[in-house]
Chain A
Amino acid sequence: MVRITDLTKKYGDFVAVDGLSFAVGPGEVMGLVGPNGAGKTTTLRCLSGIIPPDAGAILIDGHDLREQPIAAKRRLAYFSDEPRLFDYLTVRQHLEFVARIYAVPDAAEQAPRLLEELEIADKADKLPAELSRGMKQKLGIACGLLHRPAALLFDEPLTGLDPRGIRQMKDTILRTARNGAGIVVSSHLLHLVEELCSHLLILARGRMVFHGTMAQVRERFAETAAGASLEDVFFRATDATGDAG
């Protein structure tokens, strides 16, 4: 679903992402973790086509993001940490807008179903200013899921959510993965990653420190500490590059 090869992104002399390569297959949920400034958000932004990479190839469901940006973006959904909504569109109008942008022929049936599922059907005629943080997040998810993307990118998906919202968000991610989508979740919340992800990628200073399944992570770091938690693994991996904290 997502395959990147030698992705590099620089800001002036600063290398934010340095030769990153990985792949996320159907049904896989990959956790992207790393200290602040490791390059997680930059990687997700490059993957979603928001910022152009300086080098490397990005394939979304088989479509090269550079060569076929439209086809690639049609198969993609990006969820930023802060829901980015239009001030003057109601919840329903947001979905109508997204349906036209992504050309969703059955949007008229899909949209109410999604709103029901996410429990915001009663807010259909409200503006974003009238919604709580969690409701906005749900609207962002409804907009992202409407066109049935093959790859989903989540940047800190639990920011500002209440316990119920956190539960719903986790369920949504797992359900979408079970339906065959490839998912990348960037988060500082290691317990979330441990609970949701089948794979893990640890970044430090824009470079990949580790990539593999959760079982491989434990196997690899069990050599130094038996029964190590993901938190221990994270600090060992990033301390080795001198990036912790």
Chain B
Amino acid sequence: MSRAFAFLVWHSWVNRLRQQLARLRRPRYLLGAVIGLAYVWFFMVRNGFRGAGPSSAFAGAGNGVPEEVGVLVEAGAALVLSALVYLTWLLPSRRAFLEMTEGEVAFLVPAPIHRRRLVQFRLFRSQFGLLFTALIMGLVFGRGIGSAPAALRLPAWWLLMTVLELHRLTAAFGRTWLMDRGVGPWRRRRWLLLLLTAWVVAEVIWVRGEPGLGDALPRDPAAWKVWLGRLVGSGPLGWALWPGRTMAQAFLAPDTIGLLAGMGALLAVGVGLYVVLMRLDVPFEEATLEFAQRRSDALAAVRTGNWHLANPKGKARRPAFRLRSVGAPWVALWWKNLIAVKAVFGSRLWKILLAVFLVQAVILVVSGPGKALAAVLGVLTGMLAPMLVLMGPHLLRTDLRQDLVIADVLKAYPLRGWQVVLGEVLAPWSVLTVVQWALVGLFALAMSVAGPELGEKAPLRAGGIWAVAASVALILPAVNLVSLLLLNAAALLFPAWLRSGPGAGPGIESMGQGILLMFAHLFSLALAMLLPAGLGLGAFFLAQVAGAGWPLALCGAAAVASGLLLAEAVPAFHVLGRRFDCLDVVDERLT
């Protein structure tokens, strides 16, 4: 049986690799692979194997990193990893399942194979993924931590990943074992919370009884380090953090000996978990089948470029406005996509955003002038708006990038191509613009309130701040429109670049394609903005020469630049519309 599993895993892997290599015959995949490899080499491998640098070994002295920071990082890592372990027992309520494909479920679950063998198969098959993750983690976090050689760090990461996987499975099987004996999720949670409370009480009592621990926090760094070390390393908290501390050794050990010791401890934990897992004979077939179907649907969504459909939220959403049955037909597409935006991101996100904006505005209004808090809020909000200009169009994909898979449906509607493009682009554009306007408004409010904090020489005072905000608010809709049009143009002109196509899996070439697309988008956007920016600048200087103050000149320049960008967008709609009209759905799917 083991030979059959090995045959399946090995040949699946080899065939997948062959398929990916065969794809490289197509220029777009080859280019993607070259760019992906270059990225991995320059940003991961080169740094990862450079060896221990001057900032290595958190716990060592004279390495550039204060020892207190090292202790804090170790304590933090132990805390996070321990929390991960305990939450795995506390939170999930589903039955145990094995992550298998639909094909594996169809062939292996009905086959005369013991459940234990299926678990072993799953563990065996997961090793490829775990090795890859360990390699990436070793390369990304290799430099800067510990003086152990890279060759040893990689197996340590692999051991850590394997133990985490074993624990995840053991916990899932353990929870299901309890469920089958009448201990449901809430009962299990009550017990665990009771245990946690008892542990906290024990810790408090222990700290009070320990000389030096229960007193005020030491201010001296050396004493502080000792205090923290005692707190997290001994007593009830020390025992509770033991799992996390053991795992953290795999990547935070200061030297080779420490790393080997950590690996030894992990190995012992892993063997223990494996023995328990093999003894837990719980039914997982039904949940496994359900998972396989869900994953198959999600993969289909991702492969068509609709990553957001991978986890569909099955809830009807109210439309943003009432759609009358007569009027401009493209409004229907806008209406439809606004519903999709709500569904993809969930209504809760928009409510939280609105609440945050309102709370900020109230804080700013009541806090009064000259407050440092207002300046901080202003700077943070002001930073978010430009970030959204770059990232927003990539996040909000409820346009042709989402609907290209149903291009045949759209083409059957009695609409001109430009109407389809306009209707499709409007939803992400309007949502993005409204959020950005709110951010810009908050920025202006915060900076006005913080006025005196900015100093006497600050140019952005009084009306100036609002002039900047008005100028940004004027130019943002046009920039968003052009940016979204460029991404939709990419979807229409190079559909295969946005969709990896049937049978295609993730790979270095897909990553390279993504990087290339992002840079091509930024470059095209910069190119589209070149002329409007130049003419806007010219308008600014002309207005100043004509005697207008800088706030007025700035608003005028923004209006000129915005107008020119919109003028660029109009022919773009027609060009893309013609492209949509000529789109041969069948041919495009074959590319």
Contacts and interface: CB of A to CB of B under 8 A. Distances in A.
A11 B589 CA distance: 12
B301 to A, nearest CB: 9
A108 interface: yes
Interface string B282-316: 00000000000000000000000000010010111
A80 interface: yes
A73 B414 contact: yes
Interface string B267-295: 00000000000000000000000000000
Given A73-B414, A88-B339, A127-B316, A107 B325 contact: yes
B284 to A, nearest CB: 25
A103 B316 contact: no
B332 A100 contact: yes
B414 A69 contact: yes
A106 B325 CA distance: 8
B323 A96 contact: yes
Nearest to A71: B414
Contacts of A127: 314-316
A99 B585 CA distance: 25
B104 interface: no
Interface in A35-80: 42, 45, 48-52, 69-74, 76, 78, 80
Contact of A105 (B325, B342, B584, B585): B325
A99 B329 CA distance: 9
A9 to B, nearest CB: 9
A104 B325 contact: yes
A213 interface: no
B325 A108 contact: yes
A51 B411 CA distance: 8
Contact of B339 (A42, A49, A70, A89): A89
Interface string B151-189: 000000000000000000000000000000000000000
B406 interface: yes
Interface string A10-41: 01000000000000000000000000000000
A93 B326 contact: no
A78 B412 contact: yes
Nearest to B586: A51
Contacts of A89: 336, 339
Question: Among the interface residues B329, B414, B415, B582, which one has the most CB atoms of the partner chain A within 10 A?
Answer: B414
Nearest to A125: B316
B327 interface: yes
A129 interface: yes
Given A51-B586, A70-B415, A73-B414, A97 B409 contact: no
A102 B340 CA distance: 21
Contacts of A108: 325
Nearest to A96: B323
A86 B403 CA distance: 9
Interface string A90-122: 100100110111111111100000000000000
Nearest to B324: A100
- Report the interface size class on chain A: 35 or more
Contacts of B582: 52
A93 B585 contact: no
A207 B445 CA distance: 71
Contacts of B319: 93
Nearest to A126: B316
Contact of B332 (A48, A78, A80, A97): A97
A72 to B, nearest CB: 8
B435 interface: no
Contact of A100 (B335, B340, B587, B590): B335
Nearest to A105: B326
A89 B339 CA distance: 7
A84 interface: yes
Given A73-B412, A108-B325, A101 B586 contact: no
A225 to B, nearest CB: 38
A100 B325 contact: yes
B331 interface: yes
B416 interface: yes
A130 interface: yes
Nearest to A106: B325
B325 A70 contact: no
A86 B325 contact: no
Given A102-B414, A125-B316, A50 B408 contact: yes
B325 A49 contact: no
A223 interface: no
Contact of B343 (A48, A51, A69, A88): A88
A195 interface: no
A93 B336 CA distance: 8
Given A50-B408, A50-B412, A70-B415, A101 B317 contact: no
Contact of A84 (B336, B409, B581): B409
A19 to B, nearest CB: 19
A42 B585 CA distance: 11
B413 interface: yes
Contacts of B323: 96-97, 99-100
Contacts of A45: 408, 585-586
Contacts of B331: 100
Question: Among the interface residues A11, A78, A88, A102, which one has the most CB atoms of the partner chain B within 10 A?
Answer: A88
Contact of A101 (B324, B413, B585): B413
B587 A97 contact: no
A95 B414 CA distance: 16
A147 B156 CA distance: 66
A93 B414 CA distance: 19
A224 to B, nearest CB: 37
Contact of A11 (B412, B414, B586): B586
Nearest to B406: A84
Nearest to A73: B414
Contacts of A93: 316, 319, 336, 339
A87 B324 CA distance: 21
Interface in B126-159: none
A50 B585 contact: yes
Contacts of B336: 86, 88-89, 93, 97
Interface string B399-441: 0000000101101111110000000000000000000000000
A84 B412 CA distance: 12
Nearest to A144: B412
B325 A50 contact: no
A226 B501 CA distance: 51
Contacts of A48: 412
A69 B410 CA distance: 13
Interface in B565-579: none
A74 B414 CA distance: 6
Given A51-B584, A125-B316, A97 B335 contact: yes
Given A48-B412, A50-B411, A97-B332, 5 more contacts: A49-B412, A84-B409, A89-B336, A93-B316, A96-B323
Interface of B: 309, 312, 314-317, 319, 323-327, 329, 331-332, 335-336, 339-340, 342-344, 406, 408-409, 411-416, 581-582, 584-587, 590
Rank and list the top 10 A-B pairs by shortest CB-CB distance, nearest first: A73-B414, A100-B332, A99-B325, A107-B325, A88-B343, A74-B414, A70-B414, A88-B340, A50-B408, A90-B316
Interface of A: 11, 42, 45, 48-52, 69-74, 76, 78, 80, 84, 86-90, 93, 96-97, 99-108, 125-127, 129-130
19 contacts: A11-B590, A42-B586, A45-B408, A51-B584, A52-B584, A80-B408, A84-B406, A84-B408, A86-B406, A87-B343, A88-B336, A88-B340, A93-B319, A96-B325, A100-B326, A100-B329, A101-B414, A103-B325, A104-B326
